[in-house]
Amino acid sequence: MASNVFDTCIQINLQRGFGGGEVYTAAVARALRSLGIATRLFVHPGARAWSALSMPDTRVEQLADPAELPERLRAQPPRWLVFHTFAPAAVIEALRARGHLVTAFAHMPLYGRDARPLRPFDHVFAVSRHVIASLDAAGIERVYPQPLYGVADIDRVGALDRDDAPLRAGSRYDWDQRKLRDRVLGALEPLGRAFLPQRRYRRPPGLALGIVSRLTPIKQFPTLFSHVAAVLAQHPGLGLDIFGSGGYASVRDLVRALRPIRERVRFWGQQGNVRAVYRQIDFLMTGLPEKEALGLNVIEAQACGTPVLAPDAPPFTETMVHGETGYLYRDPREDQGADFAALIGRILRGGPRPDPRKAAAHLAQFSNEAFVERKRRLLAHLAQAFPRAGRE
Protein backbone atom coordinates (compact mmCIF):
# COMPACT_ATOMS: atom_id res chain seq x y z
CA MET A 1 0.00 0.00 0.00
CA ALA A 2 1.28 3.49 -0.84
CA SER A 3 2.36 5.56 2.13
CA ASN A 4 1.30 9.10 2.92
CA VAL A 5 3.21 11.55 5.10
CA PHE A 6 -0.13 12.74 6.48
CA ASP A 7 -1.46 9.32 7.52
CA THR A 8 -0.11 10.07 11.00
CA CYS A 9 0.92 13.34 12.62
CA ILE A 10 3.76 13.12 15.11
CA GLN A 11 3.56 15.97 17.62
CA ILE A 12 6.41 16.82 19.98
CA ASN A 13 5.77 18.88 23.10
CA LEU A 14 8.44 18.50 25.78
CA GLN A 15 7.19 21.20 28.14
CA ARG A 16 7.23 20.07 31.76
CA GLY A 17 4.55 22.56 32.82
CA PHE A 18 0.98 23.06 31.68
CA GLY A 19 -0.32 26.07 29.79
CA GLY A 20 -1.91 27.31 26.60
CA GLY A 21 0.58 25.50 24.38
CA GLU A 22 -0.37 22.17 25.89
CA VAL A 23 -4.10 22.88 25.58
CA TYR A 24 -3.47 23.80 21.95
CA THR A 25 -1.50 20.61 21.30
CA ALA A 26 -4.39 18.49 22.54
CA ALA A 27 -6.84 20.50 20.42
CA VAL A 28 -4.71 19.82 17.33
CA ALA A 29 -4.81 16.09 18.04
CA ARG A 30 -8.60 16.14 18.32
CA ALA A 31 -9.00 18.21 15.14
CA LEU A 32 -6.73 15.92 13.13
CA ARG A 33 -8.62 12.88 14.41
CA SER A 34 -11.83 14.37 12.98
CA LEU A 35 -9.99 14.68 9.64
CA GLY A 36 -8.96 11.02 9.73
CA ILE A 37 -5.36 11.60 10.81
CA ALA A 38 -3.92 9.70 13.77
CA THR A 39 -1.61 11.41 16.26
CA ARG A 40 1.47 10.15 18.00
CA LEU A 41 2.49 12.57 20.74
CA PHE A 42 5.91 12.68 22.40
CA VAL A 43 5.92 14.34 25.84
CA HIS A 44 8.47 14.89 28.58
CA PRO A 45 8.56 12.19 31.29
CA GLY A 46 8.23 14.90 33.94
CA ALA A 47 5.03 16.38 32.49
CA ARG A 48 1.99 15.36 34.54
CA ALA A 49 -1.01 17.01 32.87
CA TRP A 50 -1.37 15.04 29.64
CA SER A 51 -3.40 12.21 31.12
CA ALA A 52 -6.11 14.70 32.17
CA LEU A 53 -6.57 16.12 28.66
CA SER A 54 -9.12 14.72 26.25
CA MET A 55 -7.21 13.26 23.28
CA PRO A 56 -9.09 10.18 22.00
CA ASP A 57 -7.01 7.68 20.03
CA THR A 58 -3.80 9.63 20.60
CA ARG A 59 -0.72 7.54 21.30
CA VAL A 60 1.29 9.31 24.00
CA GLU A 61 4.95 8.38 24.46
CA GLN A 62 7.67 9.77 26.70
CA LEU A 63 10.75 11.44 25.26
CA ALA A 64 13.37 12.97 27.54
CA ASP A 65 15.61 14.48 24.84
CA PRO A 66 14.70 15.52 21.27
CA ALA A 67 18.10 14.15 20.17
CA GLU A 68 16.62 10.67 20.69
CA LEU A 69 13.87 11.28 18.14
CA PRO A 70 15.67 10.26 14.89
CA GLU A 71 16.49 6.90 16.41
CA ARG A 72 12.99 6.46 17.83
CA LEU A 73 11.55 7.04 14.34
CA ARG A 74 14.14 4.99 12.45
CA ALA A 75 11.61 2.31 11.46
CA GLN A 76 8.85 4.83 10.79
CA PRO A 77 7.98 5.77 7.18
CA PRO A 78 8.13 9.50 6.37
CA ARG A 79 5.61 11.39 8.48
CA TRP A 80 4.42 14.90 9.22
CA LEU A 81 6.17 16.11 12.38
CA VAL A 82 4.89 19.10 14.37
CA PHE A 83 7.19 20.53 17.03
CA HIS A 84 5.57 22.61 19.76
CA THR A 85 8.92 22.81 21.55
CA PHE A 86 12.06 23.22 19.49
CA ALA A 87 14.95 20.84 18.78
CA PRO A 88 18.57 21.41 17.73
CA ALA A 89 19.12 22.04 14.04
CA ALA A 90 21.08 18.79 13.69
CA VAL A 91 18.06 16.81 14.89
CA ILE A 92 15.74 18.57 12.45
CA GLU A 93 18.12 18.02 9.55
CA ALA A 94 18.45 14.33 10.43
CA LEU A 95 14.67 13.97 10.38
CA ARG A 96 14.34 15.85 7.09
CA ALA A 97 17.06 13.66 5.56
CA ARG A 98 14.88 10.64 6.26
CA GLY A 99 11.97 12.13 4.36
CA HIS A 100 9.93 13.54 7.22
CA LEU A 101 8.08 16.83 6.75
CA VAL A 102 9.33 18.75 9.80
CA THR A 103 7.22 21.72 10.90
CA ALA A 104 6.80 23.80 14.04
CA PHE A 105 4.29 25.97 15.86
CA ALA A 106 5.36 29.38 17.10
CA HIS A 107 3.42 29.68 20.35
CA MET A 108 5.15 32.92 21.30
CA PRO A 109 5.86 36.14 19.42
CA LEU A 110 9.55 36.49 18.51
CA TYR A 111 9.94 40.12 19.58
CA GLY A 112 13.06 40.10 21.74
CA ARG A 113 13.58 36.36 21.22
CA ASP A 114 16.14 34.33 19.30
CA ALA A 115 14.73 33.34 15.90
CA ARG A 116 17.43 30.78 15.07
CA PRO A 117 15.61 27.70 16.47
CA LEU A 118 12.83 28.22 13.88
CA ARG A 119 15.00 28.57 10.78
CA PRO A 120 15.66 24.85 10.02
CA PHE A 121 11.98 23.84 9.84
CA ASP A 122 10.22 23.14 6.54
CA HIS A 123 7.32 25.34 7.63
CA VAL A 124 6.32 27.40 10.67
CA PHE A 125 2.75 27.97 11.88
CA ALA A 126 1.52 30.74 14.17
CA VAL A 127 -1.47 31.04 16.46
CA SER A 128 -2.21 34.72 15.68
CA ARG A 129 -1.43 37.51 13.24
CA HIS A 130 0.57 39.11 16.04
CA VAL A 131 2.93 36.12 16.02
CA ILE A 132 3.04 36.05 12.20
CA ALA A 133 4.13 39.69 12.20
CA SER A 134 6.93 38.87 14.63
CA LEU A 135 8.09 35.98 12.42
CA ASP A 136 8.11 38.26 9.39
CA ALA A 137 10.07 40.89 11.30
CA ALA A 138 12.63 38.23 12.29
CA GLY A 139 13.11 37.15 8.67
CA ILE A 140 11.58 33.68 9.00
CA GLU A 141 10.69 32.83 5.40
CA ARG A 142 8.67 29.60 5.47
CA VAL A 143 5.66 30.85 7.42
CA TYR A 144 2.08 29.74 6.84
CA PRO A 145 0.33 33.04 6.14
CA GLN A 146 -2.92 32.40 8.02
CA PRO A 147 -3.27 32.47 11.84
CA LEU A 148 -4.23 29.13 13.36
CA TYR A 149 -6.28 30.53 16.23
CA GLY A 150 -7.11 28.34 19.19
CA VAL A 151 -10.50 26.99 20.16
CA ALA A 152 -12.74 27.92 23.07
CA ASP A 153 -12.70 24.43 24.59
CA ILE A 154 -13.92 24.98 28.14
CA ASP A 155 -14.36 21.26 28.80
CA ARG A 156 -10.85 20.35 27.68
CA VAL A 157 -9.98 18.55 30.89
CA GLY A 158 -11.16 14.97 31.08
CA ALA A 159 -12.28 15.00 34.71
CA LEU A 160 -13.85 18.35 35.49
CA ASP A 161 -15.61 19.07 38.72
CA ARG A 162 -19.38 19.47 38.51
CA ASP A 163 -20.38 22.96 37.45
CA ASP A 164 -22.07 23.43 40.82
CA ALA A 165 -19.11 22.10 42.85
CA PRO A 166 -17.60 24.79 45.11
CA LEU A 167 -14.30 26.33 44.09
CA ARG A 168 -11.62 25.72 46.70
CA ALA A 169 -8.32 27.50 47.22
CA GLY A 170 -5.17 25.82 45.96
CA SER A 171 -1.53 26.80 45.96
CA ARG A 172 -0.58 30.06 44.29
CA TYR A 173 2.80 28.53 43.46
CA ASP A 174 3.88 26.31 40.58
CA TRP A 175 7.07 24.87 42.05
CA ASP A 176 9.94 24.17 39.65
CA GLN A 177 11.36 20.81 40.72
CA ARG A 178 14.64 21.55 38.93
CA LYS A 179 15.46 24.23 41.55
CA LEU A 180 16.57 23.24 45.04
CA ARG A 181 14.77 26.22 46.62
CA ASP A 182 11.51 25.26 44.92
CA ARG A 183 11.84 21.61 45.89
CA VAL A 184 12.30 22.57 49.55
CA LEU A 185 9.53 25.17 49.58
CA GLY A 186 7.26 22.90 47.56
CA ALA A 187 7.64 20.22 50.21
CA LEU A 188 7.05 22.62 53.11
CA GLU A 189 4.09 24.56 51.73
CA PRO A 190 1.51 21.73 51.91
CA LEU A 191 2.53 21.08 55.52
CA GLY A 192 1.82 24.68 56.44
CA ARG A 193 -1.47 24.77 54.57
CA ALA A 194 -2.61 21.60 56.33
CA PHE A 195 -3.03 23.62 59.55
CA LEU A 196 -5.23 26.24 57.87
CA PRO A 197 -8.94 25.88 57.16
CA GLN A 198 -9.65 25.19 53.51
CA ARG A 199 -11.09 28.26 51.82
CA ARG A 200 -14.19 27.97 49.63
CA TYR A 201 -14.82 30.64 47.06
CA ARG A 202 -17.49 33.24 47.69
CA ARG A 203 -18.02 36.06 45.28
CA PRO A 204 -16.81 39.41 46.68
CA PRO A 205 -19.24 42.32 47.04
CA GLY A 206 -19.25 44.93 44.31
CA LEU A 207 -17.41 44.62 41.01
CA ALA A 208 -15.59 41.28 40.69
CA LEU A 209 -12.44 41.46 38.57
CA GLY A 210 -10.55 38.27 37.85
CA ILE A 211 -7.31 36.87 36.50
CA VAL A 212 -7.59 33.35 35.06
CA SER A 213 -4.09 32.52 33.92
CA ARG A 214 -0.76 31.02 34.72
CA LEU A 215 1.30 33.68 36.49
CA THR A 216 4.23 33.55 34.09
CA PRO A 217 6.67 36.32 33.11
CA ILE A 218 5.21 36.63 29.60
CA LYS A 219 1.92 37.89 31.08
CA GLN A 220 3.75 40.79 32.80
CA PHE A 221 1.18 41.06 35.57
CA PRO A 222 3.60 42.76 38.02
CA THR A 223 4.32 45.49 35.46
CA LEU A 224 0.64 45.91 34.66
CA PHE A 225 -0.39 46.33 38.28
CA SER A 226 2.52 48.61 39.07
CA HIS A 227 0.60 51.06 36.84
CA VAL A 228 -3.05 50.25 37.62
CA ALA A 229 -3.17 49.03 41.25
CA ALA A 230 -3.20 52.65 42.46
CA VAL A 231 -6.18 53.27 40.16
CA LEU A 232 -8.06 50.29 41.61
CA ALA A 233 -7.21 51.47 45.14
CA GLN A 234 -9.31 54.58 44.55
CA HIS A 235 -12.46 52.45 44.16
CA PRO A 236 -13.39 50.45 47.28
CA GLY A 237 -16.31 48.81 45.48
CA LEU A 238 -14.29 46.20 43.65
CA GLY A 239 -12.17 43.14 44.34
CA LEU A 240 -9.62 41.09 42.43
CA ASP A 241 -9.55 37.29 42.48
CA ILE A 242 -6.59 35.45 40.95
CA PHE A 243 -7.13 31.93 39.63
CA GLY A 244 -3.76 30.57 38.63
CA SER A 245 -0.31 29.73 39.90
CA GLY A 246 3.23 30.73 39.06
CA GLY A 247 6.85 30.49 40.02
CA TYR A 248 8.10 31.87 43.31
CA ALA A 249 9.56 35.06 41.82
CA SER A 250 6.53 35.74 39.61
CA VAL A 251 4.14 35.47 42.56
CA ARG A 252 6.43 37.52 44.81
CA ASP A 253 6.65 40.35 42.28
CA LEU A 254 2.90 40.31 41.67
CA VAL A 255 2.16 40.50 45.40
CA ARG A 256 4.44 43.52 45.66
CA ALA A 257 2.73 45.27 42.74
CA LEU A 258 -0.69 44.63 44.32
CA ARG A 259 0.14 46.24 47.68
CA PRO A 260 -2.17 49.25 47.14
CA ILE A 261 -5.17 46.85 47.06
CA ARG A 262 -3.75 43.90 49.03
CA GLU A 263 -6.81 43.73 51.30
CA ARG A 264 -9.06 43.15 48.27
CA VAL A 265 -6.93 40.56 46.46
CA ARG A 266 -7.44 36.80 46.88
CA PHE A 267 -5.32 34.01 45.40
CA TRP A 268 -7.12 30.75 44.56
CA GLY A 269 -4.49 28.76 42.68
CA GLN A 270 -4.98 26.72 39.53
CA GLN A 271 -8.57 25.53 38.98
CA GLY A 272 -9.79 22.68 36.80
CA ASN A 273 -13.35 23.93 36.41
CA VAL A 274 -12.66 27.15 34.55
CA ARG A 275 -16.28 27.41 33.42
CA ALA A 276 -17.33 27.88 37.04
CA VAL A 277 -14.58 30.46 37.52
CA TYR A 278 -15.69 32.60 34.59
CA ARG A 279 -19.28 32.52 35.84
CA GLN A 280 -18.21 34.15 39.12
CA ILE A 281 -16.36 37.19 37.78
CA ASP A 282 -17.69 40.34 36.12
CA PHE A 283 -14.62 41.02 33.94
CA LEU A 284 -11.49 39.07 33.04
CA MET A 285 -8.27 41.08 33.21
CA THR A 286 -5.44 40.18 30.85
CA GLY A 287 -1.76 40.91 31.21
CA LEU A 288 0.25 43.16 28.92
CA PRO A 289 0.20 42.41 25.20
CA GLU A 290 3.50 42.25 23.38
CA LYS A 291 4.80 38.92 24.76
CA GLU A 292 1.35 37.28 24.56
CA ALA A 293 0.72 35.05 21.53
CA LEU A 294 -3.06 34.66 21.63
CA GLY A 295 -4.61 34.40 25.09
CA LEU A 296 -6.79 31.30 25.32
CA ASN A 297 -8.27 32.70 28.52
CA VAL A 298 -9.64 35.66 26.53
CA ILE A 299 -11.36 33.28 24.10
CA GLU A 300 -12.67 31.07 26.92
CA ALA A 301 -14.05 33.98 28.94
CA GLN A 302 -15.97 35.35 25.98
CA ALA A 303 -17.43 31.92 25.20
CA CYS A 304 -18.71 31.80 28.80
CA GLY A 305 -20.27 35.26 28.53
CA THR A 306 -17.61 37.03 30.60
CA PRO A 307 -16.34 40.30 29.09
CA VAL A 308 -12.64 41.12 29.03
CA LEU A 309 -10.54 44.16 29.94
CA ALA A 310 -7.33 44.29 27.89
CA PRO A 311 -4.77 46.76 26.53
CA ASP A 312 -5.61 48.06 23.07
CA ALA A 313 -2.94 46.16 21.12
CA PRO A 314 -2.38 42.83 19.36
CA PRO A 315 -3.12 40.05 20.01
CA PHE A 316 -6.11 41.30 22.01
CA THR A 317 -7.32 43.40 19.09
CA GLU A 318 -7.60 40.07 17.19
CA THR A 319 -9.49 38.17 19.85
CA MET A 320 -11.80 40.91 21.15
CA VAL A 321 -14.37 43.36 19.79
CA HIS A 322 -14.29 46.60 21.75
CA GLY A 323 -17.66 47.40 23.31
CA GLU A 324 -19.14 44.01 22.35
CA THR A 325 -16.96 41.39 24.04
CA GLY A 326 -15.26 43.68 26.52
CA TYR A 327 -13.25 46.88 26.58
CA LEU A 328 -9.83 47.78 25.24
CA TYR A 329 -7.90 50.53 27.02
CA ARG A 330 -4.67 52.35 26.29
CA ASP A 331 -1.53 50.57 27.47
CA PRO A 332 -1.03 51.98 31.00
CA ARG A 333 2.72 52.26 30.42
CA GLU A 334 1.91 55.00 27.91
CA ASP A 335 -0.43 57.15 30.01
CA GLN A 336 0.19 55.98 33.61
CA GLY A 337 -3.17 54.25 33.67
CA ALA A 338 -5.32 57.30 32.84
CA ASP A 339 -7.45 55.55 30.22
CA PHE A 340 -7.85 52.49 32.44
CA ALA A 341 -8.95 54.77 35.29
CA ALA A 342 -11.59 56.40 33.09
CA LEU A 343 -12.84 52.98 31.97
CA ILE A 344 -13.15 51.63 35.53
CA GLY A 345 -14.96 54.79 36.53
CA ARG A 346 -17.51 54.37 33.74
CA ILE A 347 -18.11 50.73 34.67
CA LEU A 348 -18.60 51.53 38.36
CA ARG A 349 -21.03 54.32 37.47
CA GLY A 350 -23.26 51.76 35.82
CA GLY A 351 -21.76 51.59 32.35
CA PRO A 352 -22.86 48.62 30.23
CA ARG A 353 -21.43 45.19 30.87
CA PRO A 354 -21.16 43.60 27.40
CA ASP A 355 -22.35 40.05 26.84
CA PRO A 356 -19.77 38.50 24.48
CA ARG A 357 -22.16 35.69 23.52
CA LYS A 358 -24.12 38.21 21.44
CA ALA A 359 -21.08 38.64 19.17
CA ALA A 360 -21.84 35.36 17.43
CA ALA A 361 -19.83 35.98 14.27
CA HIS A 362 -16.78 36.93 16.28
CA LEU A 363 -16.99 33.89 18.57
CA ALA A 364 -17.52 31.59 15.59
CA GLN A 365 -13.86 32.16 14.69
CA PHE A 366 -12.91 30.22 17.80
CA SER A 367 -15.37 27.35 17.52
CA ASN A 368 -14.29 23.74 17.12
CA GLU A 369 -15.76 23.73 13.60
CA ALA A 370 -13.62 26.72 12.60
CA PHE A 371 -10.56 25.16 14.23
CA VAL A 372 -11.00 21.93 12.24
CA GLU A 373 -11.55 23.87 9.02
CA ARG A 374 -8.31 25.82 9.58
CA LYS A 375 -6.46 22.51 9.94
CA ARG A 376 -8.11 21.18 6.77
CA ARG A 377 -6.90 24.22 4.82
CA LEU A 378 -3.45 23.86 6.35
CA LEU A 379 -3.20 20.26 5.15
CA ALA A 380 -4.18 21.29 1.63
CA HIS A 381 -1.53 24.02 1.71
CA LEU A 382 1.19 21.63 2.89
CA ALA A 383 0.32 19.00 0.30
CA GLN A 384 0.66 21.61 -2.44
CA ALA A 385 3.76 23.31 -1.04
CA PHE A 386 5.65 20.08 -0.39
CA PRO A 387 5.04 17.55 -3.19
CA ARG A 388 7.38 15.10 -1.48
CA ALA A 389 4.72 14.79 1.23
CA GLY A 390 2.32 13.10 -1.20
CA ARG A 391 1.80 9.41 -1.73
CA GLU A 392 4.87 7.37 -2.68
* Burial readout 39-65 (b: 16 or more C-beta within 10 A, e: otherwise): bbbbbbeebebbeebebeebebeebee
Q: Going by CATH, does the domain composed of 5-151+368-389 fall within 3.40.50.2000?
A: yes
What confidence score (pLDDT) does residue 3 get? 57
Per-residue pLDDT of 136-150, as tens digits, reads: 999 999 999 999 999
What confidence score (pLDDT) does residue 165 get? 64
Per-residue pLDDT of 24-77, as tens digits, reads: 999 999 999 999 999 999 999 989 889 888 898 899 999 999 999 999 999 889
CA distance 44 to 267: 29
Taking residues 259-285, report their average pLDDT. Answer: 94
Confidence of residue 2 (pLDDT cuts 50, 70, 90): very low
Residues 6+ apart with CB under 8 A from 372: 31, 34, 35
What confidence score (pLDDT) does residue 160 get? 41
What confidence score (pLDDT) does residue 387 get? 74
Contact 52, 81 (CB under 8 A): no
Q: Do domains 5-151+368-389 and 180-364 have the same CATH topology?
A: yes
CA distance 195 to 116: 49
> How many CB atoms are closer than 10 A to CB 176?
15
Q: Is the peptide bond before 314 cis (omega within 30 degrees of 0)?
A: no
CA distance 174 to 297: 18
The rounded percent of the chain whose pLDDT value lies above 70 is 90
Confidence of residue 260 (pLDDT cuts 50, 70, 90): very high
Contact 73, 97 (CB under 8 A): no
Q: What is the pTM of this model?
A: 0.90
Average pLDDT, the chain: 91
The domain ranges of the chain are 5-151+368-389, 180-364
Cα atoms in the 13 Å half-sphere on the side-chain side of 345: 8
What confidence score (pLDDT) does residue 389 get? 60
What confidence score (pLDDT) does residue 219 get? 96
Confidence of residue 391 (pLDDT cuts 50, 70, 90): very low
Taking residues 380-389, report their average pLDDT. Answer: 83
CA distance 326 to 294: 16
Per-residue pLDDT of 296-355, as tens digits, reads: 999 999 999 999 999 999 999 999 999 999 999 999 999 999 999 999 999 999 999 999
What confidence score (pLDDT) does residue 199 get? 87
Confidence of residue 179 (pLDDT cuts 50, 70, 90): confident
Per-residue pLDDT of 194-233, as tens digits, reads: 666 678 899 988 999 999 999 999 999 999 999 999 999 9
Q: Inform me whether the pLDDT recorded for 288 exceeds 60.
A: yes
The rounded percent of the chain whose pLDDT value lies above 90 is 76
Q: Inform me whether the pLDDT recorded for 364 exceeds 80.
A: yes
What confidence score (pLDDT) does residue 197 get? 66
Q: Inform me whether the pLDDT recorded for 282 exceeds 80.
A: yes
Taking residues 3-29, report their average pLDDT. Answer: 91
What confidence score (pLDDT) does residue 125 get? 98
The CATH fold assigned to 180-364 is: Rossmann fold (3.40.50)
